[in-house]
């Protein structure tokens, strides 16, 4: 039987943690765990997968993730897990994604298409901000610069 590496065990731990946060509607904590996963992929030398995770985090951040601690569905109607008025897209994460776009040789059009693809796959019915609206918000942060 194959023995798992420390990196494999860490990846499994992070996946379990992310699933727990998503189940409990703790979307702020979920994004933190996704960033830990992106850092893990960076250490593993997997820039495209790292970028995809960063793009999913940026999409979630554009929706204003909240931590709701597993409250019941009735309370979720009053206190939704996403509040766009509380959105704070971190410029440093945008700059990191742009650097990865550059490193992977992606044009602005390709970066846009990749973001829309990732955001569409990660969107859930609770997220009020569309992928296109999120892209517009991301491109307006101080961390964004135009790509060729």
Tell me if 89 sits within 8 A of 137, measured CB to CB: yes
Report, as ranges of residue numbers, the positions in the chain whose pLDDT lies below 70: none
pLDDT score, position 36: 98
pLDDT score, position 90: 96
Angle between helices 6-23 and 27-43 (to 10 degrees): 160
Q: Rounded to whole angstroms, how far apart are CA atoms 22 and 17?
A: 9
Q: Rounded to whole angstroms, how far apart are CA atoms 118 and 54?
A: 10
Alpha helix stretches (DSSP H) within 1-107: 6-23, 27-43, 47-62, 73-78, 91-103
Q: Return the residue matching tokens 């990865």.
A: 100
Tell me if 90 sits within 8 A of 60, measured CB to CB: no
pLDDT score, position 85: 96
pLDDT score, position 73: 76
Q: Rounded to whole angstroms, how far apart are CA atoms 36 and 15?
A: 10
Q: Rounded to whole angstroms, how far apart are CA atoms 68 and 116?
A: 27
Q: Return the residue matching tokens 């008025």.
A: 85
């Amino acid at each position: 039987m194959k023995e798992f590496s420390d990196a494999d065990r860490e990846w499994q731990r992070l996946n379990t943690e992310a699933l727990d946060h998503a189940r409990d509607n703790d979307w702020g904590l979920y994004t933190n765990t996704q960033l830990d996963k992106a850092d893990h992929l960076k250490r593993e030398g997997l820039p495209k997968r790292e970028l995809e995770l960063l793009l999913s985090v940026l999409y979630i951040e554009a929706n204003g993730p909240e931590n709701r601690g597993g409250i019941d569905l009735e309370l979720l109607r009053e206190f939704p897990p996403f509040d766009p008025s509380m959105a704070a897209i971190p410029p440093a994460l945008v700059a990191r994604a742009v650097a990865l776009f550059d490193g992977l040789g992606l044009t602005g059009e390709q970066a846009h298409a990749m973001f829309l693809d990732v955001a569409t796959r990660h969107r859930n019915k609770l997220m009020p901000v569309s992928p296109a609206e999120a892209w517009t918000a991301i491109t307006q942060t101080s961390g964004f610069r135009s790509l060729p």
